[in-house]
Amino acid sequence: MGPLAGFKVIEMAGIGPAPFCAMLLSDMGAEVVRIDREASADLGIEMPAPYSVSQRGRRSIALNLKSPQAVRAIKKMVAQADAIIEGFRPGVMERLGLGPDELLGINPKLVYGRVTGWGQTGPLAKAAGHDINYIALTGMLHAIGPAERPVPPLNLVGDFGGGALYLAFGVVCALLEASRSGQGQVVDAAMVDGAASLGAPLYGMYGAGLWRDRRADNLLDGGAPWYDVYETKDGKFVSIGAIEQRFYDLLLQTLGLTDPKYRDRSHDNWPVLREAFASAFRSRTRDEWCAVMEGTDICFAPVMSLAEARAHPHMAARSVFVDCDGVIQPAPAPRFSRTREGIQSPPPEPGQHTEEVLRDWGFSSEEIAALKAKPERAAATEAQA
């Protein structure tokens, strides 16, 4: 029973940040129902249910969103829900008859969470895009990578950091406010907003003249030799973050760099330091460096692969990764002392729980039959009901 136990959330099936947000809410105890489309849709990379980790922890119903009966069914569910989240382009939900004005009219306390790349307003609002495009516009992509070219940081900064996490934060904030005011509202989570927000400290340093507007030439972007990744003798890598002077002194001592020139941390001396550090780290294997550096104040960690990470003693001790339905995946985070977080169930197949969920949400047998009927039969079934 996590901290969000008792809250009911409807998720309109999509890709990227909305499903990840739904996973976060479910991991914290919310009852999340995912509304999948009956007809197959191009949702990007399709994976078998056990491996769709971001879809874990909720039940799925399948509806034909072009059917008036399905729209009415969603509205009936909305009347009982605390929140609904969706990640469509602006205007899609309105065209389905499920826009915020319509749904807040049914349930004035509803939190209506929307996540897009460009936001609900602005010149690019209705344009297509992906994570890489959204973070490109914020300055974040420009800041990541070697001097020669920007490098996409997976889709962590836009989709999940700037999108899903800000949507989850916004939804929970709005739920908290609604518990006091009795009024719902729309949460407009845009990846351009969230990614820019993640860069707040960076923009602060840039404004203060402490950040050069070019890659690999700053304290935290791999420019500073004491905050970077180095290859070891066995072709693996280690990470160093010895920013503070006492940590840096310990790094020099452990590397055996006793010449006074290595104490000069000025920008002009960075090439000298980098060459010395790279040469030193190539002299031993990754495991050998772990034996002398791990757990010290050097600020050191081996660079683990996806296959290796779960077996590291620290990760294993904290159970950072768990087995759910035979699939190793990250455990819910953050952790709570009393209202414990947890994975509620493996990812569902689309529509796996249609009848079960509808019954739980108060639909009669006749209403369920009408929803499951083919379009030409649905009207007659509904009329008889």
**Active-site positions?**
130, 159
For residues 251 and 234, give the distance between their C-alpha atoms in angstroms, rounded to a whole number: 21
CA 333-335-338 angle, to 5 degrees, is 145
For residues 181 and 176, give the distance between their C-alpha atoms in angstroms, rounded to a whole number: 9
For residues 230 and 104, give the distance between their C-alpha atoms in angstroms, rounded to a whole number: 54
For residues 212 and 224, give the distance between their C-alpha atoms in angstroms, rounded to a whole number: 12
Angle, nearest 10°, between helix axes 17-27 and 166-181? 60
For residues 211 and 268, give the distance between their C-alpha atoms in angstroms, rounded to a whole number: 16
Region of residue 237 (phi > 0: left; psi between -120 and 50: alpha; otherwise: beta): beta
For residues 189 and 204, give the distance between their C-alpha atoms in angstroms, rounded to a whole number: 23
